[in-house]
Amino acid sequence: MALRLTFVVLACCLWMADVDSHATAPQQVRLRGVVLDSTSLAPIAGAEVTVHAQLDIWSASLTNTDSLGRFELAVSSPGAYKLTARFIGYGPRSQDVALPHDSSIAFRFLLVRRPIEVGH
């Protein structure tokens, strides 16, 4: 009987620890958006989208847009970030953002065509 009671108490403690760890786990901030051509508003597939903390450029996360120009990234904590979209033949666009805790934010980047210069 004592062994069974010990097992039940131990199981309850482990369950409570697991519930507590989920309650205090940091929630990610989700960044979703689309990258479009500024003139035609056509989606730009394969555009590179990066996000990094403004005070730490080495913390960058990177993704590429899908065939509809859509992207999704996540950061682990709220704060000040820089979000940048770029694609060959277009000028890059950046946006400074303050990301709140536990949220999902949508962005739209309009990239402007820029001629590619080839060295002589």
Is there a domain that residue 120 lies in?
no
Is there a domain that residue 17 lies in?
no
Mean pLDDT of 3-28: 47
- DSSP 8-state symbol, 77: S
Is there a domain that residue 9 lies in?
no
Mean pLDDT of 54-76: 88
pLDDT of the residue at 119? 74
Q: Report the domain count for the chain.
A: 1
Is there a domain that residue 22 lies in?
no
- Contact between 108 and 59 under an 8 Å Cβ cutoff? The reply is no
**Cβ-count burial of 92 within 10 angstroms (0-12 exposed, 13-18 middle, 19+ buried)?**
middle
pLDDT of the residue at 72? 95
Which uninterrupted H or E stretch holds 80?
A: strand 79-86
CATH for 89 = 2.60.40.1120
Is there a domain that residue 6 lies in?
no
- Structural domain for 98, as ranges: 29-111
